[in-house]
Structures are given as C-alpha cells and as structure tokens.
Amino acid sequence: MNKQRKSALSRRQFLQVAGSTAVALSLPGILSACRPSSASGALKIGVLLPYSGIYAVLGESITQGMQLYFEALGNEIAGRPIELITEDSKINPDVAQQKVRKLVEQDEVAFVTGIVSSGVLAGLRDYFHDNQVLCLCSNAGSNAHSRAAKTPYIWRTSFTNWMAPHAMGTWAAQNVGRTAVISVPDYAAGENNVTSFTHSFTAAGGEVVAVQRTPFPNMGDPAPFMAELSATGADLIYAFYSGSAAVTFVKAYHDFGLAQQIPLTGAGFIVEEDVLPEQGAAAQGVKSTLFWSYVLDNPQNAQFKTDFHAFAGRDADVFAVQGYDTACVIDEMLKRTEGDTAVGQLIAALDGIQFDSPRGPFRLDAHSQAPEHNMYARDVQPVDGVLRNVILENLGPIVDPGDDSMG
C-alpha cells in the first residue's frame, strides 16, 4: 500500500499543525503529530456496507446503531471528533475493493468497519493484511477469518457463522426432530452454516438427509426449492437466509404449505426484526438461534431499544445491536490508546475488551478475534399483538473454536 499514507505530511495537515501547535513541538514531534496515525485531529472511520441489494437493510441498521452510540458521546472520542465516511459496497467484492481503496488511500481513514457479506470480506482479506489496515468487521461471519485465513488486521465485533448453526444443531436434535434438510444460499456463509449445523446435529444423534443450495444473492422463483424440501420427508428444515432473501424464503415456506408439514429452524437472521414485519404470520412458530432478541431482558437492551427507536423512528434489530457494539468497541479501543490510531496499538488494545451489551455479556476473544456472547433459542410468537422472537432458552456463552474441529 501507499507507505506514504503513514509518513507524508499533506499540505492541509501541515497547515493545521503549523497554525496551531507547531510552535510548541520539535520537528520529529511535528511529523508524528501530522501522520494520520496520530492521536489528534478528526478521527476518520471508513464504513463499508451494502446500502443496496438484498442486505441493504442490514447496512442501514448497522450504520444507525453506530451513529446512535457516537451521538451519545457527542461524536467525539479521546478529544477527537469522529467522522464516519460511508461507502456502498453492494454485495460485490469488486465494488468493495474499489471502495476500500478510496477510503484508505484517498480519505486516509484510520481504520475500516462494516462488511456484511462473507464473500466481500474474503475479497478484502489480503488488502487489509498486506497493507496493515485494521478492519473491525461488524457482520460478515465467515469462519475462515477466525481460523485458517485469520490475520491480525481483521477482528469481528459481530459473530462467526459457526455460532448460530452450532447452537441450533444441538437444540434441534434435542427439541425438534432426528432428520434434517438444510437450505442455504450458495456462498461462503451458507457453506459455513452447512458444516456447523451438520457437525452438532450429527453429534447430538441427528442425521442430515439433504442439503439444498440456492442461487445467491437472489434465489429467483422459490417454488422448485420448496417442492424439493417437501419431498425429502425430513423431520425439520434448517435454513440460513438474511435480508430480503429471508422474506422470500419464509413467505414461500408458508405459501406452499410447508408450514403445516415440516418445522422450520434457522440462524436467527431468518426471522429477525428487520424482516419479521414483512413476513408477518408466515414467520410464526419459526425457531431460531441467535445472540440477541428484541425481548431480551437486561437494562442495556431496554435502554438501547428506547434510544434506537427515538433515533431511527423504528424498532431495533440485531444489526443495529452489531453497529452499536462496534461503536462501543471503537470507543474502548481508542480510550485505551488515548486516541492514537497507530495500527499496532489499536490491535493490542482490542484484546480482552468486554462490556455489557444489549446482547448480554460481550467479550472480544483474542484467539478467534471475535466475540464471546450468549446464544438464545427463540420462537416467533405474538407479544402484545406484535410478532417477536420469544426466548425459549438461554444456551449460555459461545466462542468460536478457532479451527475446523467442530464444523
């Protein structure tokens, strides 16, 4: 990458310093104070998210969750004003590649956050690694980036894709049925769900009888996929879909009569708050596992839901929680470095960050570079006339194993 970014003094930066603090500094002091990795001036954060396509709502919620947290700080951390620079990555690794270059090389952001799709994260992994740019990934859960493709420059504030299916595999074998058919979109995150669910479901005595992979990002006409699922005669479906693909899948599951025939389970994104209003009655009774629910009863969640509604004019969803928690990690990280953004210091500061999140206890695990948090088994039921993911069971804390030994 442009090594210049770390050392050169732009004209604007020189003028800023020369006009304010230069008199008090020696020359090396001036140079270090002027590097983008310094501890003064506006703190530019690159936010790379989908604002169009099937995951557009996820991008919107993550952004608003971050904005809410930063607004409560007066948009300032360690004395530095925060500037979020947002870019639409779509769900396209090539577009994301151009956008990340723009953020890092032109805007000179201190680090990058966002990234929803595992395919996009995979496409950017070497850029972050080779150029030593920190990425605080706030959604994309690809297991590889906590395992074989791990780099010190990518940390997750969200989850890994191993977590929800791992929890559901065990829970479904104990509570729903003995044979399962899996349905996922045909890309990395779907594949992670297949391996993880299969591992824990089988370990708990279940058998996966078929795996269905649908076109990603748009599955097209769901009818043939529903017919295929129905024909398996399995005791249950396990599915991973999110955003508008989750709406398509769950509505089709209902409209084609599968809801009467075969229980639907999944990673919680399939019936999250972002899609539930549109799914309506079609989602009722769907069981899922996730690290948060709207109805989760803790003081942080109560406050968060109220504040988010006042800020965004709508109910919070798990992606808003992820944005909020990402901002909390950024806050804590920069407090620890006293506002310094030298990449080595940022990374050192991440180790062991923990706080009480709306999702419950949150701890950044240095081995998997992803959170440890509770998993909850949930069921879509009406609460005061509104469909919510009622918590059936707190399944306790989960942390990615950091290798492929458990799926």
Token reading at 194:
């297949």
In the complex, the smallest distance separating the C-beta of residue 116 from ligand PHB, rounded to whole angstroms, is 5
In the complex, the smallest distance separating the C-beta of residue 38 from ligand PHB, rounded to whole angstroms, is 34
Strand order in the sheet with 76-77: 76-77, 80-88, 43-49, 111-114, 135-137, 154-156
Nearer of residues 41 and 53 to ligand PHB, judged by Cβ: 53
Nearer of residues 84 and 245 to ligand PHB, judged by Cβ: 245
CB 123 within 8 A of CB 150: no
Token reading at 300:
């942080």
Nearer of residues 13 and 244 to ligand PHB, judged by Cβ: 244
The alpha-helical segments, DSSP class H, found in 73-117 are 93-101
In the complex, the smallest distance separating the C-beta of residue 56 from ligand PHB, rounded to whole angstroms, is 12
In the complex, the smallest distance separating the C-beta of residue 11 from ligand PHB, rounded to whole angstroms, is 41
Nearer of residues 189 and 334 to ligand PHB, judged by Cβ: 189
CB 119 within 8 A of CB 374: no
What is each CA distance from 329 to 58, 233, 301, 333, in whole angstroms? 19, 45, 17, 6
Residue whose structure tokens are 């003064």: 40
Nearer of residues 110 and 270 to ligand PHB, judged by Cβ: 270
CA atoms in the 13 A half-sphere facing the CB of 400: 32
Nearer of residues 77 and 115 to ligand PHB, judged by Cβ: 115
In the complex, the smallest distance separating the C-beta of residue 33 from ligand PHB, rounded to whole angstroms, is 39
Q: Which residue is nearest to ligand PHB, using beta carbons?
A: 242
In the complex, the smallest distance separating the C-beta of residue 157 from ligand PHB, rounded to whole angstroms, is 13
Q: Among 83, 122, 68, which Cα is nearest to 317's?
A: 68
* Maximum pairwise Cα distance, the chain: 78
Nearer of residues 142 and 301 to ligand PHB, judged by Cβ: 142
Nearer of residues 97 and 345 to ligand PHB, judged by Cβ: 97
Nearer of residues 140 and 330 to ligand PHB, judged by Cβ: 140
Q: Contact positions toward ligand PHB, by CB under 6 A?
A: 116-118, 139-142, 161, 189, 242, 269
In the complex, the smallest distance separating the C-beta of residue 43 from ligand PHB, rounded to whole angstroms, is 27
In the complex, the smallest distance separating the C-beta of residue 81 from ligand PHB, rounded to whole angstroms, is 31
In the complex, the smallest distance separating the C-beta of residue 120 from ligand PHB, rounded to whole angstroms, is 8
User: Residue 173: in which H helix or E strand, if any?
Assistant: helix 163-175
What is each CA distance from 84 to 64, 67, 122, 298, 356, in whole angstroms? 11, 9, 23, 29, 24
With 0-12 / 13-18 / 19 or more C-beta atoms within 10 angstroms meaning exposed / middle / buried, residue 317 is buried
Distance CA 346, CA 175 (A): 43
CB 200 within 8 A of CB 407: yes
